Amino acid sequence: MILKNSIQQKKVKDFFPLVVIFFVGLGLRFYYFPYELPLIVDSLSYFTYSTETVFLGHLPTIGVPANNGWSMFMSFWFSIVNLENTFQYMQLQRIISLSLSSLTVIPVYFLCRKFFNNKLAIVGASLFIFDPRIILNSLLGITEPLFILLSTIALVLFLKYGRKEIIFSLILVSFCTIIRSEGLFLFLAFIILFLIKFRASKEIFKTLLPGVAIFLLILIPVMDYRIETTGTDSIFLRASLGTSQTLSIANQDGIEKITDGIELFVSYLGWIMIPGFIIFLPFGIVQFFRNRNKETNFIIVVTLVSSIPILYAYFVQAQDTRYLYVLYPIFCLLSLFAIQKYISKFNRKDILLSIIIVGILVSSITFYEYKKIDFDKEKELFEIGKITVDITSGINSHPTESRYTRVAQIPNEWPFVFHDDMYEIKIISTKGYENLENYIINSRNELTHVIVDSNDDLPEFLKDVYYNEEKYDYLQKIFDSKEKGYSHHMKIFEIDFQKLDNKMIGEI
């Protein structure tokens, strides 16, 4: 009895630091939570699909996202939680996302615990939950938190190499693949790891084949639904298309495109090391190869295979670091090889590890504060977006304001059905134009207003309207945010087509 109590006390003592960092990480996410901002861009698409699923009582047949697993997951929560309006359900999507991100600290801990002691595993878990990019990503309400959580649990289970654990890990990977097609490459990594571990043994028939069969059985209904509604399964066909496109890039553009993609991969990889991984990960990789053995070879397989879709994204010049986030649990594990080496030279290891965890937390908060989104500005953009919806019917595309103009048109009464063709305010692309008059004339069937501010990403001819509005007598200013007390300066002009036509005739 005494021995049993002693073991239980040790377990509580071991897990207490993990509980602490979980709640600190969760608290940070709620501290930075954008309480007054709606979902935008990708997260809005997932939201409207989930909402329509609840409204219809079945999966929609139009407007299906390429990866609809996250939306299906959210539709379950939407159906059992009773809230008052659309905005509250948007916030629920964010809360679930940040909760899943925080919970990922548990499988990351167990992944690190497989190769390091409890105290080092806590440090590895801290690297994940306190990372500023992971915190920011968790607040967006998109797919990564659920994908990373399930894929990390699957990896931890698979590495137990038990029959039940392997089969269950493949089940989780099938759900990962529904959430994001990149899960297919995790499945491929697991197959390779299994064959390396068991080779020609009977486990192939007893474990692998049943696991693969269940994996496919879970995917087939989803693939069939996607093919019926979108014309593609967004999994195998997407992987095949990506492979053919990569080969096409290599054949048509030669080594230059491949080199550009690799450079983008390396530059983003270097960027995401700041602040948490920069001190640990590079040296950790060196230490890993110095101490590599059969048990740790899985790191190489999982990293290389999981990097294939990431490389493809950068071959086509996708400008986003979040493709790399799926590798973060592996990065946390690799970093511990360096930390173990660092602390081996000191006697008071516990104190040093505590200092490292505090350092990770402080550096992450500092970096987040430096790089975080200006929520006050975003809130003003949302309010201006609602004004834009009231006073315009067709505007130029804008790098930031277009997002809020779209979400401002979403019904407040929930649930609802809302597709892209239901947006009343048309947003006309400025791509390919270098002259305001040509842009307006070619878009006059839809364009009614011009919206501008000092955003550097606006075309030069629109920035000129912002700085030199007096030059454009055919533009009548109907809204100036400064005059309404906003900090962010945004102007909206109504186009007087009669004056523009007279101007153009006069120039002929």
Flag residues of the chain having pLDDT under 70: 1-11, 240-254, 507-508
For the chain, give the percent of residues with pLDDT over 70.
94
Looking at the domain assignment, is residue 474 inside a domain?
yes
The verdict on 101 and 180 lying in the same domain is yes
Per-residue confidence (pLDDT) for residue 324, from 0 to 100: 93
Domain count, the chain: 2
Could you report the per-residue pLDDT of 403-461, keeping only the tens digit for each? Answer: 999 999 999 999 999 988 889 999 999 999 999 999 999 999 999 999 999 999 999 99
Looking at the domain assignment, is residue 466 inside a domain?
yes
Kindly tell me the burial class for residue 505, based on how many C-beta atoms sit within 10 Å of its own C-beta (0-12, 13-18, 19 or more): exposed
Instruction: Look at strands 394-396 and 426-428 and give their pairing.
Output: parallel
The verdict on 152 and 271 lying in the same domain is yes
Per-residue confidence (pLDDT) for residue 507, from 0 to 100: 64
Distance, in Å, from the CA atom of 159 to the CA atom of 126, rounded to the nearest integer, reads 22
CA dihedral 408, 411, 417, 420 (to 10 degrees): -20
3-state secondary structure of 89: helix
The verdict on 337 and 392 lying in the same domain is no
The verdict on 348 and 383 lying in the same domain is no
Q: 78 vs 42, 90, 414, CA distance in Å?
A: 18, 10, 10
85: number of Cβ within 10 Å: 11
Cα dihedral sign for 118, 120, 121, 126?
Answer: positive
Distance, in Å, from the CA atom of 270 to the CA atom of 499, rounded to the nearest integer, reads 53
Looking at the domain assignment, is residue 456 inside a domain?
yes
Per-residue confidence (pLDDT) for residue 303, from 0 to 100: 92
The verdict on 222 and 283 lying in the same domain is yes
205: number of Cβ within 10 Å: 9
Instruction: Note if the pTM is more than 0.75.
Output: yes
Per-residue confidence (pLDDT) for residue 50, from 0 to 100: 96
The verdict on 143 and 221 lying in the same domain is yes
Which residues does 4 contact at the CB level (< 8 Å), separation at least 6?
none
Looking at the domain assignment, is residue 458 inside a domain?
yes
The verdict on 353 and 379 lying in the same domain is no
Looking at the domain assignment, is residue 164 inside a domain?
yes
Which of 336, 371, 406 is the C-terminal boundary of a domain? 371
Segment holding 402, helix H or strand E: helix 401-407
Looking at the domain assignment, is residue 12 inside a domain?
no
The verdict on 347 and 379 lying in the same domain is no
Start-to-end C-alpha separation, the chain? 100
93 with 47: CB under 8 angstroms?
Answer: yes
Cα dihedral sign for 362, 377, 29, 64?
Answer: negative
Per-residue confidence (pLDDT) for residue 276, from 0 to 100: 87
275 with 366: CB under 8 angstroms?
Answer: yes
Per-residue confidence (pLDDT) for residue 260, from 0 to 100: 80
The verdict on 351 and 488 lying in the same domain is no
Show the domain range for 354: 20-371
Which of 341, 356, 371 is the C-terminal boundary of a domain? 371
Which of 371, 398, 425 is the C-terminal boundary of a domain? 371
- DSSP state string for 441-479: HHTTTT--EEEE-S-TTS-HHHHHHHH-GGG-TTEEEEE
